Amino acid sequence: MIKDPPLLKIRRFSTEFEKKTLVSLRGAPLGYLVDAMDGRGALDPRIRLLEGYPADTMLVGPALTCHCGPGDNLALHAALAEANPGDVIVAATDAFEGTCLTGDLLMGMARNHKIAGLVTDGLVRDTSGIREVGLPVFSRGVIPNSPVRNGPGTVGFPVVLGGVRVASGDVIVAGNDGVVVIPREQLQNVLSRLPEIKAAEMETEQAVEDGMELMDSVKEILNSNKVQYFDDPSC
């Protein structure tokens, strides 16, 4: 590269939602949300809630994305400056494992800014301090090595982390089962499908309680010409 890139590129984007829209997602099982998107939307399972949080910890809010270069967190600082209260900072690091992305002091600043929480494919440190801050933090692990603040980085542009594309304004719903991303344009469809999915789940749960051993749809496949059976000649 002949010319150095800007230290930061910042795309300003409104992440505001009606509060009742997000409240309706809090407490929804993550599996229901994924089913409403045809079985997709969850991040890499290595991106997990830090240990030590209450079992019912949930993180729900609109994403504000940033991309930090390896070993750098300038873009994360810039994201805090751009964020609205209630935003979830989604920080991509290309899964860099040489240094942490953040520790308790920066998360304390995020709390002061009324950020809802952090999701990153990077690593963190100062985990006991982060838990004391109280913000839910989802990361790939822990390392004490320090980052720098040199850039380059971006804020507000789409990123890919955990195998999923995330854009600012998408909705993050996360808990002990992982992290789910609902694209903003799919949100209303997901909300409208939740009652149907819940009803089907409850019906199947009752059938299992009543002794169901196989779903009827699976029995139909197993008894159809779509399955070829082979006898073991050694028997």
Identify the CATH number of the domain in which residue 125 sits: 3.50.30.40
Cα end-to-end distance, the chain, whole Å: 67
Residue 53 included in any domain:
yes
pTM for the structure as a whole: 0.89
Residue 1 in contact with residue 147, Cβ under 8 Å? Answer: no
Residue 206 included in any domain:
no
Bin 134: left if φ > 0, else alpha if -120 < ψ < 50, else beta: left
Q: What is the pLDDT of residues 120-155, one digit of tens each?
A: 999 999 999 999 999 999 999 999 999 999 989 999
Residue 225 included in any domain:
no
Residue 223 included in any domain:
no
Residue 169 included in any domain:
yes
Q: What is the pLDDT of residues 9-59, one digit of tens each?
A: 999 877 676 667 788 898 899 999 999 999 999 999 999 999 999 999 999
Percent of the chain topping pLDDT 70: 97
Q: What is the pLDDT of residues 72-83, one digit of tens each?
A: 999 999 999 999
**How many angstroms separate the Cα of 78 from the Cα of each of 8, 72, 143?**
8, 12, 22
- Which residue range forms the structural domain that includes residue 109? 8-184
Residue 198, classified by CB atoms within 10 Å of its CB into exposed (0-12), middle (13-18) or buried (19+), is: middle
Give the number of domains in the chain: 1
Residue 174 included in any domain:
yes
State phi, psi for 22 to the nearest 5 degrees.
-75, -35
Residue 120 included in any domain:
yes
Report how far residue 55's alpha carbon sits from residue 53's, in angstroms, rounded to the nearest whole number.
6
Percent of the chain topping pLDDT 90: 79
